[in-house]
Amino acid sequence: MTKADLQLLLPALRRFAYSLTGSRADADDLTQNTLVRLLDYPTPDGVPAAQWAFRICRNLWIDEYRARRVRQTAQPQVEYETLTETDGEAQLLNDIQLTQVGKALDTLPPEQREVLSLVAVEGMSYQEAASVLAIPAGTIMSRLARARLAIANKLKLPGGLTCN
């Protein structure tokens, strides 16, 4: 993977890391560890570079998550980037909605959160997400449906959350 490939992939990889960790600092660490691993281990033949990068990122996070559970450390606090609005009331409403969505996402099991992140945030197809997570596409669809329904119920939205 070339430096240019990594630069193009970096924003999506960082978003994915943030969706897994829920913390900017942890996402930065995970992204850096992923980049180091990508430089150390070339992308296998026939595997798209983005899918390989997301898979490495996820596997590194699983390792870190397990290590944290063993050490029994506190869970990281979710940090949200400040929205830039000139209207104070609109800013307040955005902050409230963002906090509510963040809390709803925090209640999802990790499997549903990572599927929602890959499909809804990163725009991956079900098949691409299935390849990254090494699970069947049907499992992606069911986890995504359960995640959407859970968030809709938490936010009291009619009909669920829609993602393309």
Q: Specify if 163 maps to a domain.
A: no
Q: Specify if 160 maps to a domain.
A: no
The b/e string for 97-129 (b: 16+ C-beta within 10 A; e otherwise) is eeeeeeebbeebeeebbbbbbbbbebebebebb
Tokens of 34: 């992923």
| Predicted TM-score (pTM) above 0.75 | no
| Averages of pLDDT over each 10 residues, the chain, 164 residues | 85 91 90 92 88 92 80 50 57 76 83 88 89 92 91 75 46
Q: Specify if 162 maps to a domain.
A: no
Q: Specify if 137 maps to a domain.
A: yes
